[in-house]
Amino acid sequence: MRAEAPAEFTVLPWPSSAGGGSDLDTELGPVQENWSGPLLRCGALLGITVICVAVLRRYIGGGVCHCSSRLDGRTVLITGANSGIGKETARDLAGRGARVVMACRDLTRAEQAAEEIRRGTGNGNVVIRHLDLASVYSVRQFAKDFVDSEDRLDVLINNAGVMMCPKWLTEDGFETQLAVNHLGHFLLTNMLLPMLKSSAPSRVVNVSSIAHHGGRIDFDDLFFSRKPYSPLDSYRQSKLANILFTRELAHRVKGSGVSSFSVHPGIIRTELVRHVMDWFPPLRLILKVPGLLLLKSPWQGSQTTVFCAVTPGLEQRSGSYFSDCAEKDASPEGRDDDVARRLWEESARLVGLKDTC
Residue 3 DSSP SS3? coil
Radius of gyration over every alpha carbon of the chain, rounded to an integer in angstroms = 31
Beta bridge partners of 158: 206
Give how far Cα 338 sits from Cα of 79, 305, 334, 350, Å: 28, 27, 10, 18
| 308/327 Cα distance (integer angstroms) | 10
Q: Are 141 and 188 in contact (CB under 8 A)?
A: no
| 37/41 Cα distance (integer angstroms) | 6
Q: Are 239 and 208 in contact (CB under 8 A)?
A: yes
| 262/209 Cα distance (integer angstroms) | 9
| 299/305 Cα distance (integer angstroms) | 11
Give how far Cα 225 sits from Cα of 73, 179, 221, Å: 47, 14, 6
- The DSSP H or E segment spanning 153 is none
| 189/169 Cα distance (integer angstroms) | 22
59 is annotated as an active-site residue? no
Annotated catalytic residue within 59, 137, 229, 235: 235
Instruction: Enumerate the active-site residues.
Output: 235
